[in-house]
Amino acid sequence: MPGQQGQERKRPVPERQSVTRKPTQLKSEVAAYKRRRIIEEASHLFFANGYEATTLDAVAEQLHVTKPFIYSYYRNKSELLSEICQTGIQLSLTALDEALAVDGTATEQLKMVVDRVARIIIENQRYISVYLREEKSLDPDDARRIRDLRHQFDSQVAALLTKGKEHGEFAFDDASRTAIWVGGVLSWIANWYHEGGRWSATEVVMDAISVVMKIVAKRA
């Protein structure tokens, strides 16, 4: 998970006089691991039961710890949600960037983008779903930060679409609006895919690629 800016916790590690800083480093690695585990369990419960309906006691129970344990790694409940939502788009955004880094025609790139992002969404469904469903529950500041990330995503897709149109590969009316439909196709996967359900991940990803390519293709 990239882009994990080390937010300060309640009890910051002092990092005082130790000449060898190895032990201190290990400690902070352990702390980071605990934070990840908290988020992991929280995301499962938020996904299954919703943010408001999930209690921190329930999250603690999943980890076989108690509520104050969580509070020594996160300030409050909404910080958990914020981190989950951010992970959600951050994952998608990173997948998008990676796909765009590979060069090729706009058509090839767009296929690559949908393929990679769709797979990431399926693999990390609970983060994405929670993000899509619980945006309203975010603190205003976090909501803004996360909307910005989302906006980056849409802008980059729109830029790719524009490039494809200029090269005569795609045809559509308005790039921003079309990018939003592409985003819709991807989001829909998170709402609808169910592991072990009627359709396989591969089928869903292939469908998504096919749908997106049809949306932007010349001569319908």
Name the residues that contact a copy of itself, by CB under 8 A: 48-53, 132-134, 136-137, 173, 176-177, 180-181, 184-185, 187-188, 191-192, 198-199, 203, 207, 210-211, 213-215, 217, 220
Site membership for DNA, residue 2 (CB under 7 A): no
By a kind-dependent CB cut-off of 5 to 8 A, residue 14 interacts, out of a copy of itself, DNA, none, with DNA
> Residues 85-88: contacts with CB within 8 Å, 24+ apart?
85/127, 85/130, 85/131, 85/134, 85/135, 85/138, 85/142, 85/146, 86/142, 86/145, 86/146, 86/149, 87/1, 87/39, 87/43, 87/124, 87/127, 88/124, 88/127, 88/128, 88/130, 88/131, 88/132
The pair of structure tokens assigned to 35 is 């934070």
Joined together, the tokens standing for residue 212 give 């997106």
Residue 88 CB, nearest approach to DNA (Å) = 20
Q: Which of 7, 25, 55, 210 binds DNA (CB under 7 A)?
A: 55
Q: Which stretch binds DNA (CB under 7 A): 67-75, 101-109, 127-135, 159-167?
A: 67-75
- Residue with Cβ nearer a copy of itself (73 or 106): 106
Of residues 53 and 217, the one with the C-beta less far from DNA: 53
Interface with DNA, residue 14, by CB under 7 A = yes
Residue from 3, 71, 84, 88 nearest 36 by CA = 84
Which one of a copy of itself, DNA, none interacts with residue 66, CB within 5 to 8 A by kind? DNA
Q: How far is CA 55 from CA 25, 59, 78, 147, 166, in A?
A: 32, 7, 12, 26, 51
Q: What is residue 170's three-state secondary structure?
A: strand
Contacts of 98 (CB under 8 A, 6+ apart): 116
How far, in Å, CA of 68 to CA of 72, rounded? 6
The reply to whether 71 sits near DNA by the rule CB under 7 A is yes
Q: What is the CA radius of gyration of the chain?
A: 20
34 near DNA, judged by CB under 7 A: yes
Among 4, 7, 25, 66, binds DNA (CB under 7 A): 66
Minimum Å gap between C-beta 62 and a copy of itself is 18
Kindly state the smallest distance separating residue 142's Cβ from a copy of itself, in Å.
Answer: 16
Fill in the per-residue mask, 134 to 173: x = in contact with DNA (CB under 7 A), - = not in contact: ----------------------------------------
